[in-house]
Chain A
Amino acid sequence: MNKSLSVLNNHPHIWRARDQRQSETKFSLGFPRLDKALNGGVASTGLVRISSLTGMGELSLFKQVICQHRTHKLVVFINPPGILQSPWLENLGLKAQQVLVVKPGSEQESLWAAEQCLKSTACHCVVLWSNAVNQKEARRLQVAATHNDALCLLYTPPQQQASQLGYPKANLSDSQATPSNQSDSALPITLDIALKGKPHALAVNIRKQRHGWPEDNIVISHRWTPDNQAIKWAMAHNTLSDQALHSVS
């Protein structure tokens, strides 16, 4: 018994918390607290799931990862939730010829397209929007990404998180849905994070990461979109009276 356990213990894929930091390549996100919690950043290959509402800065968070590495390769957007705007890409730091948008007809087609992109060796990063990914599909994407030196960012809506935490599902008649959602927390992927918005900040919950501990509520303050701070500041520091402002000499 002991012997067989020790054999198992030698398996290189078993990670122990006491192990030293792995020597895999990481891409820094550029936010010190988050990078520290992730042991240096996002792994350079594999599948990363981000559960978030659309429009909270979930793409801007990965700006450095998307723009600063393997710049000769494509960044593919599969099934995006709207029309991707080229000036925004330019502001982010992506060249137009480096970007490819794929509009598949169905969920299955978008998963197929993602796998093809990862396997093609022409892609640096595949950004995929999908509502539900089961264990088998996640495993396929993870293997395709790690074997071909590519990264896959999977954006899913936050509902999945709620069902996992044990909230009763509204529609229980669908018996198939429940087991797939339960196994959902155990997706064989590199990193699983959830995002929550705060005014001018973003709270990151690391739900699961390979070779590391989960950590909750890492707050990142950002200014990814312009704001009216300058005007507010000017109004607050205005020492002139109204009359002086409008006076005509």
Chain B
Amino acid sequence: MGHGTQHAFRSGITLCELMMLWAYIYCYQLTLDSHINAAKTNHAHRQTLKSDRRTPPRSEANGISSSLPSNTPVAVYCSKTNKITQCNDIAKKEGIEIGHGLAQAAALCPYVHILPFSEEAEKHMLTQLAHRLYPLASDIVLDNHIHSNSVNGLAVRLDNLTHYYGGHTPLWKTLTQALAEADIRYHFASAWTIEAAKVLALHKLNTYLHTPDDIKKALSACPLSITALSPKVIDSLARVGVSCVHQLLAMPVQELGRRFDNNTIMYLTALRGETFPRVTLFRPLEHFDNFILLPFDIENTQHLTPFVTQQFEHLSHYLRARNLYTSSISVHIHFREAPVMDINIHSALPQSSVKSWLPLFSLKTENLELPEPATAITLTCQQFEEIDSQNGDFFSDRFNDIAQKQLIGRLNAKLGDNSTFQPRAADSHQFEYMTVTESSAGNCTGNYAYSSDITPTFTFDVPKPLIQATQICFGPVRLHSEWWHDSPTKRDYFIAQTEQCVRLLVFKDEESRWWVQGLFC
């Protein structure tokens, strides 16, 4: 007995010094996220089409009928368990909750849009997410439907990476940025083993912990029901008065050994961070395989274009990062009933860009008739060709994408989250609102960027009174504020030059006062 306690004590010491650290990313609505993303892509594509080519109204009407407006309640339904497994905010507002049956959901909200739940599709999406993270983190474990039903997540080992990223914060910022780009909702947590991190993530902790004390404290607060213990075991534990993880952590090992079978003990010791079960690490495929679920059924091959474009983009990123070209790809179109349709496209010249593959795809599918509406598409590419090292330009930007992410993660880690941003064009003609500076300009569509040749390089936060002698070189340009603003303004803008030849954007307001608003650099 004495030997056992000593062992536990020693392993506790090593934990503090060389603790493994895993992050668990619990993706609780993959199907819904992929539906939203696909709908967004389609919308953006339609916008560009509208502005570029003036699509004839007929096809536009088609588009509206097939794509859903953004305020539709959407829910994902699993037919095996007869339960709603995922639903969006609008559906929640209508009263639909996760766990409801289909009939109950339909009764609450008759016009809810139901997406079928498919394990296969979710696994595809999870693998794609792992592919996305793989350039940033080496040890990734896919966790889907192994222990319990309908939990999809990724575990990423962090302790061996902190060294390369220079600390916990830059590493985590880099990973979260990649996740943000994937546009996926998730809960996360970190702990000494995958099992412990998973329990915390299911508890929706959403905090990055890396000291044993913090992790222990957080784990203690979790109820037993979210652990992977079988209901039988939880029952028997409840009978002896153990109802939360806190008591489990305090229990000595030999006590556990007397009560439970081997599997449960394995799990419990892993939860306590005393053993580290073997896991299969994710290895990326040697060929390219990208699956996408369509947000709605598509009958016309032309409407496939935005989704195929998205896949070509993935392909070109994949090829670029590996310094490869390809001369043949295949697009597989999935249907509900009919067998999968394979379209093989060959190109005379090995190429990698979206620009070169997309015209080939549209040429190939121009006269193609789909036997029934398509539900999903896969893009695969098996054969690659190395690029000869003559092409120096290719080498110079191979790791550019990753380097950019690392840089932004690093800057944000030290200077604060709001210290870096990319200026985006906004939907306004007024100089104050032309540019959006938030790091995530989510609410700005960016489709109708207002361009003008009298925009200054810099504007001030608030206009300053003009107090020096200037000479006007251009103007006036009269700008009214939009009618829906609370305090309407009417301003006459000029470009003026000071004696030192500094060019300013000045304006005269309605009361004939002069203000400086910006600079031309």
Q: Which residues of A contact B (CB under 8 A)?
A: 53-60, 70, 72-74, 80-91, 96-97, 99-105, 109, 112-113, 116-117, 120-123, 149, 197-200, 202, 224-228
The one of A97, A199, A225 that contacts B520, using a Cβ cutoff of 8 Å: A225
A55-B504 in contact (CB<8A) = yes
With A87-B451, A100-B408, A225-B473 as given contacts, are A81 and B415 in contact (CB-CB < 8 Å)? no
Q: Is the CB of A56 within 8 A of B407?
A: no
Query: Nearest Cβ in chain A — how far from B174, in angstroms?
Result: 12
* New A-B contacts (10) at CB < 8 Å, excluding given A55-B519, A82-B518: A58-B521, A59-B457, A72-B396, A82-B460, A85-B455, A96-B425, A109-B414, A116-B407, A120-B406, A227-B474
State which of B404, B421, B454, B458 has its C-beta within 8 Å of the C-beta of A82.
B458
Provide the bound-state CA to CA distance between A105 and B414, in Å. Answer: 11
Contact, CB under 8 Å: B520 / A73: no
Given contacts A56-B503, A87-B425, contact A116 B437 (CB under 8 A): no
B459, A60: Cβ atoms closer than 8 Å: no
Segment with Cβ contacts to A, from B37-45, B240-248, B258-266, B494-502: B494-502
Whether A54 contacts B521 in the complex (CB less than 8 A), given A96-B424, A120-B406, comes out as yes
Contact, CB under 8 Å: B497 / A199:
yes
Tell me whether A85 and B420 are in contact in the complex, defined as CB-CB below 8 angstroms, given that A54-B502, A104-B415 are known contacts: no
Residues of chain A within 8 A (CB-CB) of B458 are 54, 80-85
- A86 and B424 contact, CB distance less than 8 A: yes
Q: Does B449 contact A (CB under 8 A)?
A: yes
Query: Can you name the residue of chain A whose Cβ is closest to the Cβ of B476?
Result: A228
Contact yes or no, A87 B500, CB < 8 A = no
The answer to the question of B150 belonging to the interface, with a C-beta cut-off of 8 Å to chain A, is no
Listed from nearest, the 5 A-B pairs whose CB atoms lie closest are A197-B501, A82-B458, A122-B403, A55-B502, A55-B519
Asked if B452 is an interface residue, CB under 8 A from chain A, the answer is yes
B455 contacts A91, C-beta separation under 8 Å: yes
User: How many whole Å from B451's CB to the nearest CB in chain A?
Assistant: 5
Closest chain A residue to B517, Cβ basis:
A82
Docked pose: A129 CA to B452 CA in angstroms: 26
Kindly list chain B residues whose C-beta atoms are within 8 Å of the C-beta of A90. 425, 449, 451
Closest to A123 in B: B407
Is B448 close to A, CB under 8 A?
no
Tell whether B419 is near chain A: CB-to-CB under 8 Å: yes
Determine how close the nearest CB of chain B comes to the CB of A145; give it in whole angstroms. Answer: 15
Q: Please name all residues of chain B whose beta carbon is closer than 8 Å to the beta carbon of A149 when the two chains form the complex.
A: 396
Instruction: Tell me the smallest distance from the CB of A96 to a CB of chain B, in Å.
Output: 6
**Cα distance, A104 to B415, chains bound together (Å):** 6
| A58 CB contacts on chain B under 8 angstroms | 521
For residue A221, give the distance in angstroms from its CB to the closest CB of chain B. 12
A58–B503 alpha-carbon span in the complex (Å): 11
> Is the CB–CB distance between A225 and B474 below 8 Å?
yes
Nearest CB of chain B from residue A169's CB, rounded to whole Å: 21
Provide the residues of chain A in CB contact with B411, threshold 8 Å.
102, 113, 116-117
**A83/B421 in contact, CB under 8 A:** no
On whether the beta carbons of B400 and A122 are closer than 8 Å, the reply is yes
| Inter-chain contact B423/A53, CB cutoff 8 Å | no
Cα separation A198 to B456 with both chains bound (whole Å):
19
Q: How far is the CA of A55 from the CA of B421 in the complex (A)?
A: 23
Task: Please tell me which one of the listed residues B403, B435, B521 contacts residue A60 in the complex, with CB atoms under 8 A apart.
Answer: B521
What residues of chain A lie closer than 8 Å to B501, measured between beta carbons?
Answer: 56, 197-199, 202
B459 touching A56, Cβ below 8 Å: no
Hey, what's the 0/1 contact readout for B471-492 against A, CB within 8 Å counting as 1?
0111100000000000000000
Q: Give the chain B neighbours of A74 by CB distance below 8 A.
A: 404, 407
**Which residues of B are found within 8 Å of A87, using beta-carbon distances?**
425, 434-435, 449-452, 455
Contact indicator A117/B407 (Cβ below 8 Å): yes
Residues of A within 8 A of B382 (CB): none
In the complex, the answer to whether A91 meets B453 with C-beta atoms within 8 Å is: yes
A–B Cβ pairs within 8 angstroms, 11 of them: A55-B457, A57-B521, A82-B460, A85-B459, A91-B451, A101-B420, A105-B416, A116-B407, A197-B501, A226-B474, A227-B495
- Which residues in chain B, 372-416, are within 8 Å of chain A measured between CB atoms? 396-397, 399-400, 403-404, 406-408, 410-411, 414-416
Which residues of A are found within 8 Å of B111, using beta-carbon distances? none
In the bound assembly, the distance between CA atoms of A58 and B500 in angstroms comes to 13
A197 and B501 alpha carbons, distance in the complex (Å) = 5
Does chain A have a CB within 8 A of B422?
yes
A225 touches which of B425, B431, B454, B459 (Cβ 8 Å): B454
B337 at the interface (CB under 8 A from A): no
A56 to B495, CA, bound (A): 13
User: Residues of B contacting A116 with CB < 8 Å?
Assistant: 407, 410-411
CB-based contact B449/A89 at 8 Å: no
Question: Could you tell me if A225 and B460 are in contact, using CB atoms closer than 8 angstroms?
Answer: no
In the complex, B461 has a CB within 8 A of chain A: yes
In the assembled complex, the CB of B442 is this many whole angstroms from the nearest CB of chain A, namely 15
Give min CB distance, B387 to chain A, whole Å: 16
Q: Given A83-B459, A225-B520, A227-B474 in contact, is the A55-B449 Cβ separation under 8 Å? A: no
Q: How far is the CA of A53 from the CA of B501 in the complex (A)?
A: 9
Q: A116-B411, A228-B475 are in contact. Are A83 and B437 (CB under 8 A)?
A: yes
Q: How far is the CA of A59 from the CA of B503 in the complex (A)?
A: 13
Q: Which residues of A contact B450 (CB under 8 A)?
A: 87
- Nearest CB on B from A108, distance (A): 11
A112-B407 Cα distance, complex, nearest whole Å = 12
Instruction: Determine if B473 and A96 form an interchain contact, defined as CB atoms under 8 angstroms apart.
Output: no
- Min Cβ gap A89→B in Å is 7
CA of A226 to CA of B403, assembled, Å: 38
* Known contacts A54-B519, A59-B521, A72 near B400 by CB under 8 Å: yes
Which residues of B are found within 8 Å of A86, using beta-carbon distances?
423-426, 434-435, 449
Tell whether, in the assembled complex, residue A72 and residue B397 are in contact, meaning their CB atoms are under 8 Å apart: yes
CB within 8 Å for A99 and B503 given contacts A90-B449, A225-B520: no
Roughly how many angstroms separate A102 CA and B426 CA in the complex, as a whole number? Answer: 20
Which residue of chain A is the closest to B450 with respect to CB atoms? A87
A138 to B177, CA, bound (A): 32
Query: How far in angstroms is the closest Cβ of chain B from A17?
Result: 33
